[in-house]
Amino acid sequence: MRGSLDRLAALACRLGAVSEADPRYGQVLDGRYRLEELLGEGQMGRVYVAEQLAMKRKVAVKLLRPEDVEDERSVARFRREVDAVTRLRSPHCITFFDFGIEGGELFIVMELLEGENLRQCLERGPLPPTEVRRIVDATCECLAEAHAAGVLHRDLKPENVFLCRPPAAKGPPHVKVLDFGLAKLIAPEDRDAGVITRPKTVVGTAAYLAPEMARGADPDATSDLYALGVMTFEMLTGTRPFSGDNPTRMMLAHVSEPIPSAVARRAELPRGIDAFFSIALAKDRAERFDDATRFAAALASALD
């Protein structure tokens, strides 16, 4: 049961309760993937454990909800996720295996992970700076590749960073970035202009939303790195830099509240870390890190 809960956290965000009597159990998709266990239900559809029959291996299958198949925006978003993840080859990005259509339903096939997500890890308290550096380095490697390919994550948060259990529990967990379901590819002709979504559309999770996204403006690579800055602050201090009792107040905090001191919340942190966050969490994207590699290098320097 524990393994199922771990996989649930890895493969979808905003999951619902696990069903014990799903009528889809045993269904074979495209003659290749037999659905075996419902892991959960997210905004875009259901995620199952399945067996890839030809190879006798377990995989994760995400199915778009049937009621959304006629919704062109949902279908386009689902296809966009497939297009996004298939471009990424970093060992720190979740691996995509296949894509298909079955009875009018779209599905994607991904690797099945074992371990826990970063949110579950943070529930036990702040992390040692050395572990934070390791997680950030891996996340930045994935983001650097994604951004170079014109892919933005747009919903980076602890639930979407997974710590894979190492074989025989030897060595540190392997970091994987999950769920590019909110990603939108930047068309080559739009990359210089940073045009990736319609203005005034707010997409993402309020606690990790960059100020420009909270205002409904177009995100860019610095928006993903802002979210990583929030996560880094949370990993080091055990608290988020900004709070609010509802999504609207949370977004307003990102837009208007001053950046708090990480050292004030965890005194043993090196003093230079506050200078790092003054850039990572800058309200103006022009003042932030614009490159994932530089973000990781700056954090390493601040923590030395």
Closest CA to 28 of 84, 107, 85: 107
Indicate which residue of 155, 179, 220, 224 is catalytic: 155
| SS3 call for 115 | strand
218 is a catalytic site residue: no
Measured distance CA(146)–CA(156) in Å, rounded: 13
Measured distance CA(99)–CA(85) in Å, rounded: 11
Q: Which long-range contacts (CB under 8 A, 24 or more apart) does 274-282 make?
A: 275/302, 276/301, 276/302, 277/229, 277/232, 277/233, 277/241, 280/225, 280/226, 280/228, 280/229, 280/232, 280/233, 281/226, 281/229, 281/230, 281/233, 281/241
Helix axes 292-303, 273-280, angle to 10 degrees: 160
Is the separation of the CB atoms in 149 and 97 below 8 Å? no
Distances (CA, A) of 254 to 143, 247, 262, 268, 289: 22, 11, 16, 25, 17
Measured distance CA(13)–CA(207) in Å, rounded: 14
| SS3 call for 296 | helix
Return the active site residues: 155
